[in-house]
Amino acid sequence: MRQDWSDFLTRQGAGAGQADFGHTADELAAARDGTVVAPLSEFGLIRITGEEAAPFLHNLVTNDIKGLAPDGVRSAGLCTAKGRLIALFHVWHDRNDDLLLMLSADILPGILKKLSMYVLRSKAKLSDATDERILIGLAGSQAEAVVQELGAAIPFPLQATPFDAGQVLRLDERRFVLAVEPAQAEAVWARLAAKARPVGATAWRWIEIASGQPRIVAGTQEAFIPQMVNLETPAVGGVSFTKGCYPGQEIVARTQYLGKVKRRMFRARLETPVDPGTHVYAPETGDQHCGGIVTLAASPEGGFECLVVAQESCVDAGEVHVGAPGGARLVFLALPYALG
């Protein structure tokens, strides 16, 4: 994160790491009931330039990048040869032909290095673009009206639109991401904060969880295949089964066409926090884990909420424990979309 932006947020009341603006409980309530604006300090950007930027990325990730419209936004995963996710991205075109990839900041250096290994003779160049744009999240029932006041055309879901300070990406009906030129970020923040409650990373993580949207971080790399985190569902929309080969494609396709996915991602409550990647257990699997925590955040209702991958039969039985067979029991909540 740029130091000038970090210093600005501190002056606005943000705590260490922009986890909150001093009132976590109130911020979570606003995330549930109102309209909020958040610095997306837990994310970074990779830029891909060159005439073969789209074909280069297309051949590596789970979604169709060649078919990405100039104003389109797509989710996509990067897998190992065994079909295990090591990154999830939001991908869109910058205001030129470059591609921007938004991903969890803690895994960016390793993913940038890995992607760069595939360049070879491709006419594509990769760089860390985190300091080139300030990422700001906006969510809630009035988010669309707030975007309109910035002078931006209202994008459809999974569409990006330019405005005078950068771009607005619409992820779904209630969630937006603004990719803002650094020189204009403070002014944009002031305009947004006049209409929406400033909240920190904790509240934004809860918004992702409530929306059923996974995030891959260091603790969950190589833990899940795409279908385990619902990537193939229309609501997450991160897999194309017609785009052709990419690392792990055979495993992902075989899982889709030759058998039912036994583990899926669910939303749940728990009373104490745990780290992403923590295993979960059920009586029917004994000492063998039946899944793991994807993401976790404090809940507006008290305690914590998480997205968790678990064996469907264990969830149906209603008894899944965190960290050990006798660990805390999860209470499952509804996702905002149906599984296949």
Domain containing residue 235: CATH number: 2.40.30.160
Q: What is the DSSP letter of 277?
A: T
CA 29 to chain centre: 21
Residue given tokens 């001093």 in the structure block = 22
Q: What is the mean pLDDT of residues 68-93?
A: 97
What does pLDDT average to over the chain? 95
User: Residue 39 has what pLDDT?
Assistant: 98
Q: What is the DSSP letter of 235?
A: T
User: Residue 257 has what pLDDT?
Assistant: 84
Q: Residue 269: inside a domain, yes or no?
A: yes
Whether the CA torsion 144, 158, 46, 140 is positive or negative: it is: positive
Q: Residue 260: inside a domain, yes or no?
A: yes
Q: Which amino acid is at 160?
A: A
User: Residue 265 has what pLDDT?
Assistant: 98
> Which residues, listed in sequence order, are joined to residue 321 by a DSSP beta bridge?
281, 329
Q: Residue 146: inside a domain, yes or no?
A: no
- Whole-angstrom distance between the N-terminal and C-terminal Cα of the chain? 38
Q: Is 156 exposed, middle or buried (0-12, 13-18, 19+ CB in 10 A)?
A: exposed
The helices-and-strands tally (H runs, E runs) of the chain is 9, 18
Q: What is the mean pLDDT of residues 38-63?
A: 97
Q: Where does the pLDDT of residue 163 fall: very low under 50, low under 70, confident under 90, or very high at 90 and above?
A: very high
CA 82 to chain centre: 22
User: Residue 332 has what pLDDT?
Assistant: 97
| pLDDT at 1 > cutoff 80 | no
User: Residue 258 has what pLDDT?
Assistant: 80
Q: Residue 11: inside a domain, yes or no?
A: no
| pLDDT at 301 > cutoff 90 | yes
Q: Which residues are CB-neighbours of 330 under 8 A, at least 6 positions away?
A: 268, 269, 270, 280, 306, 308, 310, 320, 321, 322
Q: Residue 255: inside a domain, yes or no?
A: yes
Distance CA 14, CA 22 (A): 7
Distance CA 91, CA 179 (A): 12
Range of the domain at 318: 218-333
Residue given tokens 């650094």 in the structure block = 182
Cβ of 196: how many Cβ atoms within 10 Å? 22
Distance CA 159, CA 154 (A): 9
CA 248 to chain centre: 21
Q: Residue 101: inside a domain, yes or no?
A: no
Name the pairing type of β-strands 304-311 and 85-93: unpaired
Whether the CA torsion 127, 157, 135, 17 is positive or negative: it is: negative
Q: Where does the pLDDT of residue 261 fall: very low under 50, low under 70, confident under 90, or very high at 90 and above?
A: confident
Tokens standing for residue 15: 């705590």
Helices (H), 211-248: none
1-5, 37-41, 70-74, 269-273: least confidently modelled range: 1-5
Q: Residue 197: inside a domain, yes or no?
A: no
Q: Where does the pLDDT of residue 260 fall: very low under 50, low under 70, confident under 90, or very high at 90 and above?
A: confident
Phi-psi category of 22—alpha, beta or left, where left has phi over 0 and alpha has psi -120 to 50?
left
Count of structural domains, the chain:
1
User: Residue 4 has what pLDDT?
Assistant: 94
Q: Which residues are CB-neighbours of 146 under 8 A, at least 6 positions away?
A: 35, 37, 138, 192, 195, 196
Q: Residue 321: inside a domain, yes or no?
A: yes
Instruction: State the maximum Cα–Cα separation within the chain, in Å, rounded to a whole number.
Output: 57
Residue 93 C-beta-side C-alpha neighbours within 13 Å: 18
- Rounded to two decimals, the pTM is 0.95
